[in-house]
Amino acid sequence: MDTSKLINETVKKAFDAWQQGDIKTFLSYFTDDTKLYDDGNIRSFSKFVNEACGHEKFTSIDKVENNGLDITGNFHTESWGDFKTYFKFHINSDGKINRLDIGQAN
Structure pTM? Answer: 0.95
Q: Which residues of 30-62 are buried (b: 16+ CB within 10 A; e: fewer)?
A: beeebebbeeeeeeebeebbeebbbebbbeebe
Which domains are seen in the chain, by residue range?
A: 9-104 (3.10.450.50)
Q: Supply the pLDDT for residue 1.
A: 82
Q: Rounded distance, CA 36 to CA 42, Å? A: 6
Q: Supply the pLDDT for residue 98.
A: 98
Kindly give the confidence (pLDDT) of every residue in the chain, 106 residues in length, as a single tens digit, with 9 standing for 90 and above. Answer: 889 999 999 999 999 999 999 999 999 999 999 999 999 999 999 999 999 999 999 999 999 999 999 999 999 998 889 999 999 999 999 999 999 999 999 8
Q: Rounded distance, CA 55 to CA 97, Å? A: 21
Q: Supply the pLDDT for residue 106.
A: 84
